[in-house]
Amino acid sequence: MALNGRVALITGASRGLGKAMALALGGAGARLALVSRDAAQLAAVAQEARQLGAQAEVFRADVSDEAQILQLERDVKSKLGPVDILINNAGTVVRSLCLDFTLADWNTVLNTNLTSAFLLSRSFVPHMKGRGYGRVINISSIMAHISLPQRTAYSASKAGLLGFTRALALELASENITVVAISPGPFLTEMTAPLAADPAANATFNARVPLGRWGKPEEVGKLALYLCSDEASFITGTDILIDGGWCAQ
């Protein structure tokens, strides 16, 4: 599944699932544009990617800020040329009951998880047009399919991403640009660290996963690599669950 110099922009590449996808794509020959708000952490990921033989450039941006995305598009184009692969992965969660939620927190979750995918797609999909290949991957969640208390904003944002994925796939199919969502179950990252560290929550999560464990970020990395490859050329407008069987119950 070689990516042979294709340019891949990954948001939220500073850690967790974004870092794992960056290393998987970089290891397969992609040239990487690594995006988050933390340039130092991105530089460390870039270093790891270079050790795998990949070209990797760091771009500091807040994905919820329109002006920063417009600037990002100019910066990436001038350093790496047109983007072939866009992975909308940056995300955040605020765990709070709906009736206690502030509008500011609601807007942060929706802007980071959903509006960012619109802003980045609007800026970078034009790079893919007329070139016979393009990939947009949106990182949703099992919380788009099922939910838990304290996840109203998060579930709404991730379910919104699935609708966004379907509609964008229809708009871009004639260009041979595919648009696919990945819906991870529980993976051990900074986002889920408070749950994994709480013995009761950890036991509940393990019990809900038929395979009986947390996912490993590299498992999402390999799925993203497959979706970017030519082997996945007939997959678009859909969503792939990678959840150890949680949603099968």
Residues at the contact surface with ligand NAP, assessed by CB under 6 A: 11-12, 14-18, 36-38, 41, 62-64, 89-92, 112, 139, 141, 184, 186-187, 189-192
Which residue lies nearer to ligand NAP by CB, 100 or 190?
190
**Token pair listed for 9:** 């922009």
Whole-number Å distance between alpha carbons of 214 and 60: 30
Which residue lies nearer to ligand NAP by CB, 37 or 129?
37
CB of 88 to ligand NAP, least distance (A): 8
Whole-number Å distance between alpha carbons of 183 and 220: 10
Whole-number Å distance between alpha carbons of 248 and 186: 14
Which residue lies nearer to ligand NAP by CB, 16 or 134?
16
Q: Which of 59, 154, 214, 246 is catalytic?
A: 154
CB of 61 to ligand NAP, least distance (A): 6
**Integer-rounded Cα radius of gyration of the chain:** 17
CB of 81 to ligand NAP, least distance (A): 22
Whole-number Å distance between alpha carbons of 44 and 204: 34
φ and ψ at 143, to 5 degrees? Answer: -70, -5
Residue 226 falls in the annotated catalytic set = no
CB of 237 to ligand NAP, least distance (A): 20
Whole-number Å distance between alpha carbons of 181 and 247: 16
Residue positions annotated with a catalytic role: 154
